[in-house]
């Protein structure tokens, strides 16, 4: 591993953070160096600290420890991410015989120097009780590989030398802190401390020494491992693996469940594959080798302890594939539930069982598929799973893999301080759901997308106009996690284009829960002046386009087998058409009627189909309505109005005398998609109250 410490960069950090103590500026610098190495730190799997002196509000000098705070990533940490605590007081805690996790956290909070600081690392006392000024802690892949094999102490000393300390796995917190301090005092010249099944601590009285030692010992481990490797045997993939666009919706359906709180949970899926992964999953001993416990218990909250291995070799029909998935998932759940029951019985405790669904699936000839309540969660699980797979492949050349005892795994998985990393509270109404909105380059789509995202859904926007589409995507990505919003250039009038778009969506997210046919175009002409070709063009988009996307979505809904929602953006014109607007009104009425037919036909698979009749939505932020770009000039001319005057005219026309916004349409979509009422085949006006357009 390359040592990236640079004196010029270190000095630049001291100058940049001149308002902070020098040790904190350097702590920020080397923390970032560590955090930017995936082989050292993966998704929060490490922490750092520095000791120093600062003046309190009374001007009194006091000893403090700056330690990584919860929620901060080492890779881009700032001084605020290393809150200061009263070091003198915290060191006194070592005299206690016992300290509960809850009281430990309480002591951290009440001895922070800034009450607004994030919670300090749960390993703060390890950093506190160790005397050196700078402490670095990582879950370096190379170190963990060596700690997870039989006779690991012999191997560790052979690889790293004798100037190290080695401890068995101990749960993070007060007991670990005392054990680490005792070992250091017994051997104050040691340069690093290894925790089996956990990671490595290095230390020094300056930032560079602690960092240099981290890189030095990890490099020794990497070289030792590399020296034991042999060229991998070539494995050939089979040609019988199922199509991902068929497989992923089946997987989503099998993983969907109702949790202990009664919430319906569905997952986003993420696929990770490369030559190494596919080769590993094709090994004859792949299941035996790879279906073993996590490298370090910290991973269990992201990945569960075990992956689910699936092999579809010899299966040809969709029915056979679906049956194997459901049988394997059921078996996985049974094993998890048995593990939970055994642990609470042996420990004589009560806990609320977490869901028993796998988060990592190793699928022969497909790759690693991970499941998460958000795309971010699924990506994190995939990163960990890929590193774990690579580590286990390297470890087999050194010794037999030794997983951590189930008792320790349970303690970590059900530890309140670890669960806190995932966040608590009720899920948002559309959490885990995947939505597709056509006509994505328009104002209404912007409002629909915004409200779907706010409700927790992942949103795919489609449009034939790439420029308008990407503008809306950029607007929404600036307001929400960019991983939650995607764009697909799609022509809803073209069956192949629609199918390609659906396939891309499935490959990127796993399936579909909410379909919003929203694409539409308008044309102003009296019937006597309306060209056949123009009428057909409007019908192709406004009617045939709705038909195409609904037809393409039905197989996805069926494979998932947990229902879904179709919400068609119809129009006020369905019930109250206007002169010179025949092509638009007739095509929208046809799409509206198509929605009612879909409601009749899809109820048997619990797909609910509803319509929204909106009116007079001119723009959303910087996005204009394509319809009003066409209609507006004629309407303004006929009424002798400017743009603002036209908006005011439509405000005054509705019963509520209100402006109708794209967000209002989005709210209506979220209402239907949330399934708050057992409703299908309904029409909801979003028009401020246009009497002539009342549904009847």
Through-space distance between the first and last CA atoms of the chain, rounded to whole angstroms: 72
State how far the Cα of 369 lies from the Cα of 385, in Å rounded to an integer.
Answer: 9
Tell me the catalytic residues: 584
Q: What are the backbone angles phi and psi of residue 215, rounded to the nearest 5°? A: -65, -40
- Region of residue 580 (phi > 0: left; psi between -120 and 50: alpha; otherwise: beta): left
Domain 7-228 shares a fold with domain 244-422: yes
pLDDT in the model for residue 238: 58
Better-scored residue on pLDDT, 643 or 502: 502
What SS3 class is residue 118? coil
pLDDT above 70 coverage of the chain, percent? 97
Percent of the chain with pLDDT over 90: 87
Mean of pLDDT over the chain = 94
Q: Confidence class of residue 634 from pLDDT cuts 50, 70 and 90?
A: confident
> Mean pLDDT throughout 256-272?
88
Structural contact between residues 278 and 237, judged by C-beta atoms closer than 8 angstroms:
yes
The yes-or-no verdict on residue 62 having pLDDT over 60 is yes
Confidence class for position 552, pLDDT limits 50, 70, 90: very high
**pLDDT tier, 235 (very low <50, low <70, confident <90, very high otherwise):** low
Residue 420: per-residue pLDDT? 67
Per-residue 3-state assignment (H helix, E strand, C coil) for 150-165: CCHHHHHHHHHCCCEE
More confident residue, 670 or 647: 670
pLDDT for res 212: 98
CATH homologous superfamily for the domain 7-228 = Class II aldolase/adducin N-terminal domain (3.40.225.10)
Residue extents of the structural domains in the chain: 7-228, 244-422, 434-624+660-687
pLDDT-based confidence at residue 625 (cuts at 50, 70, 90)? confident
632 has a pLDDT exceeding 80:
no
- What is the distance between the alpha carbons of residues 469 and 474, in angstroms, rounded to a whole number? 9
User: What's the rounded mean pLDDT across residues 579-594?
Assistant: 95
Distance (Å, whole) CA 310 – CA 345: 31
Query: Does residue 520 carry a pLDDT above 70?
Result: yes
Residue 604 confidence class, pLDDT cut points 50, 70, 90: very high
Q: Residue 595 half-sphere exposure, CB side, CA atoms within 13 Å?
A: 33
Is residue 637 pLDDT above 90, yes or no?
Answer: no
Residue 421 is predicted with a pLDDT of 61
Nearest 10 degrees: CA dihedral of 622, 626, 628, 634?
130
Neighbours of 691 (CB within 10 A): 9
Q: What is the pLDDT of residues 373-384, one digit of tens each?
A: 999 999 999 999
pLDDT of 620 over the 90 cut? no
The answer to whether residue 239 scores a pLDDT higher than 60 is: no
Residue 332 has pLDDT above 70, yes or no: yes
- Given a cut of 70, whether residue 60 has pLDDT beyond it is yes
Across the range 629-642, mean pLDDT stands at 78
CATH domain 244-422 topology: L-fuculose-1-phosphate Aldolase (3.40.225)
DSSP 664: H
Find all residues with CB under 8 Å of 551, minimum gap 6, and list them: none
What CATH number belongs to 434-624+660-687?
Answer: 3.40.50.720
In angstroms, the Cα distances linking 343 to 332, 349, 410, 480 are 17, 8, 7, 40
- Find, among 331, 358, 337, the residue nearest to 410 by Cα: 337
- Specify the pLDDT at position 230: 87
Report the pLDDT value the prediction gives residue 424, as an integer from 0 to 100. 60
DSSP string of 14-68, one letter each residue: HHHTTTS-HHHHHHHHHHHHHHT-TTT-SSS-EEEEEEEEEE-TTS-EEEEEEEP
Q: CA-to-CA distance for 458 and 466, rounded, in angstroms?
A: 20
Q: Is the pLDDT of residue 30 over 90?
A: yes
Compute the average pLDDT of residues 596-611: 98
Among candidate residues 549, 569, 576, 557, the one with its CA nearest the CA of residue 689: 576
Among the residue ranges 108-122, 411-425, 482-496, the one predicted with the least confidence is 411-425
Q: Encode pLDDT of 68-112 as tens digits.
A: 998 899 999 999 999 999 999 999 999 999 999 999 999 999 999
User: Is the pLDDT reported for residue 456 higher than 60?
Assistant: yes
The per-residue pLDDT for 237 is 55
The answer to which of 47-51, 350-354, 452-456, 476-480 has the lowest mean pLDDT is: 350-354
Q: Where are the alpha helices (DSSP H) in 300-374?
A: 300-303, 318-347
Confidence of residue 459 (pLDDT cuts 50, 70, 90): very high
138-158 tens-digit pLDDT: 999 999 999 999 999 999 999
């Amino acid at each position: 591993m390359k040592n990236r410490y640079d004196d010029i960069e270190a000095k630049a950090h001291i100058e940049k953070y001149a308002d902070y103590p020098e040790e904190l500026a350097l702590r920020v610098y080397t923390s970032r160096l560590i955090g930017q190495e995936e082989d050292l730190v993966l998704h929060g799997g490490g922490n750092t600290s520095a000791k120093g002196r600062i003046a309190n509000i009374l001007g009194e000098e006091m000893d403090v420890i700056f330690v990584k705070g919860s929620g901060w990533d080492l890779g881009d940490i700032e001084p605020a991410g290393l809150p200061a605590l009263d070091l003198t007081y915290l060191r006194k805690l070592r005299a206690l015989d016992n300290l509960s996790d809850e009281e430990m956290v309480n002591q951290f909070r009440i001895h922070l120097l800034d009450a607004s600081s994030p919670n300090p690392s749960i390993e703060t006392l390890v950093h506190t009780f160790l005397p050196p000024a700078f402490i670095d802690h990582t879950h370096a892949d190379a170190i963990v590989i060596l700690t997870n094999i039989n006779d690991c102490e012999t191997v560790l000393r052979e690889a790293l030398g004798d100037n190290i300390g080695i401890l068995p796995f101990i749960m993070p917190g007060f007991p670990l802190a005392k054990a680490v301090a005792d070992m250091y005092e017994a051997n104050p010249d040691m340069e690093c401390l290894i925790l089996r099944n956990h990671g490595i601590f290095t230390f020094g009285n300056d930032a560079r020494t602690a960092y240099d030692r981290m890189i030095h010992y990890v490099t020794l481990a990497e070289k030792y491992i590399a020296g034991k490797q042999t060229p991998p045997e070539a494995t050939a993939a089979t040609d019988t693996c199922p199509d991902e666009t068929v497989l992923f919706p089946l997987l989503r359906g099998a993983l969907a469940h109702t949790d202990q709180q009664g919430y319906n949970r569905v997952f986003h899926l993420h696929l990770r594959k490369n030559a190494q992964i596919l080769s590993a999953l094709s090994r004859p001993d792949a299941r035996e080798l790879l279906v073993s416990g996590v490298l370090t218990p910290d991973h269990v909250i992201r990945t569960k302890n075990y992956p689910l291995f699936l092999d579809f070799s010899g299966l040809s029909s969709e029915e056979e594939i679906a049956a194997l998935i459901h049988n394997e998932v059921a078996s996985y759940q049974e094993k998890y539930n048995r593990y939970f029951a055994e642990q609470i019985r042996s420990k004589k405790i009560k806990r609320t069982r977490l869901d028993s669904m796998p988060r990592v699936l190793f699928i022969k000839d497909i790759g690693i598929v991970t499941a998460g309540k958000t795309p971010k969660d699924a990506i994190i699980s995939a990163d960990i799973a890929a590193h774990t797979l690579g580590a286990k492949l390297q470890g087999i050349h050194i010794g037999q893999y030794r997983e951590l005892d189930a008792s320790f795994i349970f303690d970590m998985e059900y530890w309140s301080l670890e669960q806190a990393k995932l966040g608590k509270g009720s899920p948002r109404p559309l959490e885990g759901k995947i939505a597709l909105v056509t006509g994505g380059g328009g104002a209404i789509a912007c409002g629909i997308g915004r409200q779907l995202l706010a409700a927790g859904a992942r949103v795919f926007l489609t449009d034939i106009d790439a420029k308008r589409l990407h503008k809306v995507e950029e607007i929404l990505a600036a307001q929400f996690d960019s991983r939650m919003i995607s764009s697909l250039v799609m022509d809803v009038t073209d069956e192949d284009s629609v199918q390609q778009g659906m396939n891309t969506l499935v490959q990127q997210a796993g399936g579909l829960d909410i379909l919003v046919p929203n694409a539409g175009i308008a044309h102003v002409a009296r019937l006597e002046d309306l060209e056949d070709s123009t009428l057909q063009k409007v019908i192709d988009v406004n009617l045939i386009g709705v038909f195409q996307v609904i037809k393409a979505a039905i197989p996805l809904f069926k494979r998932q087998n947990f229902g879904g929602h179709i919400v068609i953006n119809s129009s006020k014109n369905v019930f109250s058409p206007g002169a010179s607007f025949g092509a638009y009104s007739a095509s929208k009425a046809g799409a509206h009627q198509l929605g009612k037919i879909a409601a009749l036909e899809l109820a048997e698979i619990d797909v609910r189909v509803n319509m929204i009749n909106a009116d007079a939505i001119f723009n959303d932020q910087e996005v204009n309505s394509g319809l009003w770009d066409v209609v507006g000039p004629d309407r303004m001319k006929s009424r002798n109005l400017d743009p603002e005057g036209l908006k005011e005219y439509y405000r005054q026309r509705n019963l509520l005398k209100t402006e109708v916004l794209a967000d209002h349409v989005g709210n209506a979509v979220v209402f239907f998609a949330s399934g708050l009422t057992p409703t299908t085949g309904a029409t909801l006006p979003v028009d401020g109250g246009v009497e002539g357009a009342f549904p009847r």
